[in-house]
Structure 1
Amino acid sequence: MPDPSFMAQQQAQQAAQQAHRAHQQAHHQAMRHHMNHVHQAGHRPPPPHAGTSHRGRGGGVVSFLVVAVVALALARDTALRDSILGSIEHLWTSVRKN
């Protein structure tokens, strides 16, 4: 018979993975819904130069980092927290390279 603590750890890991998959699926569904709405409304994307000439590249990064840090502080799910940390590290690496 397997160790009960090992079984509990396995169950917790599976639950975290399921929660992460459910979060991803909900996000993708919301994005599809939004894109369908945009498409049905006949919106067109702005030209590539619109709105980017005076803002610089830091505006979106700072906003993302603020949201990520707040989500990180509030996340009770360790898998979600690890995912957020990975995204922050990836973004930081990308910003430092450019």
Structure 2
Amino acid sequence: MEDINVKELKERLEKGDKFVFLDVREEWEYDDDNLGAINIPLGELPHRLDELEDKKDQEIIIHCRSGARSGNAKKFLESKGYEKVRNVLGGIIAYRDL
């Protein structure tokens, strides 16, 4: 699936659209500033994949600080058979600049 920009993400969050929202930043980053996503740090994702197993057929939107870690998380999930995965381009930095 195509990635998503922060403007589209904000619109979808405000509308209450249904999707799985995943934040792959470290816990301390999440504690400092979060958008209400599920927090699974990128390094823990392979060990916590079972938490997403029942969401495999749903759209999953992943974000991090700048878009790099979430891009890696997207590739990882796609390698595990997840097909509806989107990365937030620019991450929370770009989102906060809206």
Band the TM-score falls in, shorter-chain normalisation? under 0.3
Q: So what's the TM-score if we normalise by structure 2?
A: 0.24
- Name whichever structure is richer in helix by fraction: 1
Q: So what's the TM-score if we normalise by structure 1?
A: 0.24
- Name whichever structure is richer in strand by fraction: 2
